[in-house]
Amino acid sequence: MGFTEQVLPFLVPKIRWALEKFRRAVPEKWVKLEEIRLRAEQPLQVEVGQSLLVTADGGPTLRPDQALKVEAPDVLRTVQLMGGNSLYTLEEELREGFITLPGGHRVGLAGECLVGRGTMLRLKRVTSINIRIARELKGISRQLLPFLTMDDRPLRTIIISPPQAGKTTLLRDLVRSFSNGEEDSAPVKVGLVDERGEVAGSFRGVPQLDVGMRTDVLTGCPKREGVFLLLRSMGPQLIATDEIGRPGDLDLIEEILNTGVGFITTAHAWDTKDFALRPSLQRLWSQGLVERVVVLSRRLGPGTLEGVWNGRTKEALLSQVQRLEVRR
């Protein structure tokens, strides 16, 4: 099934019908769908390379007064549908702040929080839903593999980019490629700590997206606990995680290196200068803890490759701006 069949059945009828009409009215925009945004008492919004509002008849518009209004009960009922009307499931999802749909599509939740002793216990009332469309682009990493391997081993790599520039999509395909042993790289056992569930897109514990035949996945587990669990029990040769940047994450990477295991990860930064200036990431750059730095942007659209840098010598190994494409 495509994302249309995987996502739309979880929406309340009036929103589902509007989006079905939008899909038929502007198919060239629908294929670029990145997000569906539902906010209580606000217009229905989609991200399709640009931010658009959707009318009740499925037409694209920029005028809020013409757009379909999402009401608070629509948000509540959509969350119930996504949780399978299960109180236990909903309790878990409201604690985590996200839901994963079949196909690996991630649904972020926001609203009123229930807090106890200074800690968020769960979302008490959901007022915003962000459905992020998961896409597999198998082969998108192929042109990068020669720069990220040496002597049949994956080099310690970090992918940096601003939000929604394709770093998680690239990470997923690199994990798949290393796990399967594509191009000139020998296959390796990969341990994936998928803290937010976006890389493997696991639904009920089973990855919905292809992360390779030799990959063991921990979903919804904090990075530190997940890394040490995998190191103790699964014997990985490569650890993969998404979204580092907190000081504790850097300490964790140093501990991974002490075990002789490689890593591949991602972080938010605009370029290598921004990366080198961020206090939480500076050690990775200044001490040469990463061997390769891949920089993505949205200059030519999501998945624009700005370059590949040697993390030790700081020289550019590939600096030609290009759009990453699937190569078979």
Digits of tens for pLDDT over the chain (328 positions)? 688 999 999 999 999 999 999 999 999 999 999 999 999 999 999 999 899 999 999 999 999 999 999 999 999 999 989 887 665 667 777 887 888 888 889 899 999 998 888 887 888 899 999 999 988 889 999 999 999 998 888 999 999 999 889 999 999 999 999 999 987 778 999 999 998 888 998 877 788 899 999 999 998 888 999 999 999 999 999 999 998 888 788 888 888 888 989 999 999 999 889 988 888 788 888 888 899 999 999 898 889 999 999 999 999 999 889 988 876 5
- 327 by Cβ neighbours in 10 Å (0-12 / 13-18 / 19+) ranks as exposed
> Which pair of tokens denotes residue 89?
């499931």
- List Cα–Cα distances, 292 to 7, 246, 265, 287, in angstroms: 36, 20, 11, 13
First CA to last CA across the chain, in angstroms?
Answer: 22
Q: How far apart (Å, rounded) are the C-alpha atoms in residues 14 and 268?
A: 36
Of 309, 243, 298, 250, the C-alpha closest to 270 is: 298
Query: pTM value?
Result: 0.83
Q: How far apart (Å, rounded) are the C-alpha atoms in residues 284 and 309?
A: 13
DSSP per-residue string spanning 209-251: S---TTEEEEES--HHHHHHHHHHHT--SEEEES-B-SHHHHH
Using the Cα atoms of residue 121, residue 122, residue 124 and residue 129 in order, give the sign of their dihedral: positive
Q: How far apart (Å, rounded) are the C-alpha atoms in residues 188 and 316?
A: 27
Full set of structural domains in the chain with CATH: 3-132 (3.30.450), 145-323 (3.40.50.300)
